[in-house]
Each structure stands twice: as C-alpha cells, then as structure tokens.
Amino acid sequence: MNKTKVKLIDKTYISEKYGQDKDGYTKVRIDRAINDFIKDKKVIDIKYQTNMTSIVWGGVDDDRYLVTALVIYEVDREEESVTEA
C-alpha cells in the first residue's frame, strides 16, 4: 500500500536590478529545485503560488517574489520505513 506525502519548496526572487538574469530569475530557479526533488518520486500533483511584495523607502525601491511549490507524491510504505530508519 502506498502513502501520500507532501513537500513544500520555496524560493525568494529579488528584483531585476539585484542579480537576476535576463529572464527575470535568480540563479537558482524553483524549477531546478523541484526537478531535483522529484526525479525518483511518483508525483501526483504540483501546485504553484507566487506572492509579490514591493517597497519604496527613501528613494530605494525593491520587489521580492516568493514562489512556492507544493509537491504531492506517493511512496511505498516499505520504502518509507527503510529511508526513515
């Protein structure tokens, strides 16, 4: 019998002028983090959410993006007991 588990993966991206590439991403993309995590998992679903925060203070402005992915996947109960031991 399989067991359903979830994993929350999140990355904070800063505004374009502070270290992002031309596509608007920081050097570590959330896609890469998800792919590294799921390569040996049976994925049921992945849910994405993005929140943006902007501030302006004394002539300094900044945008931050929090991108979150909730990965829902299955594991074998036998496999789980071996990895958690």
Percent of the chain with pLDDT over 90: 27
Mean pLDDT of 2-17: 79
Both tokens of residue 38? Answer: 């799921």
Percent of the chain with pLDDT over 70: 72
Of the pLDDT bands very low, low, confident and very high (cuts 50, 70, 90), residue 78 is low
**33-50: pLDDT as tens digits:** 899 999 999 999 999 888
Buried b (16+ CB within 10 A) or exposed e, 62-84: eeebebebebebebeeeeeeeee
pTM value is 0.65
Q: Where are the domains of the chain?
A: 2-78
8 Å CB contact between 37 and 71 = yes
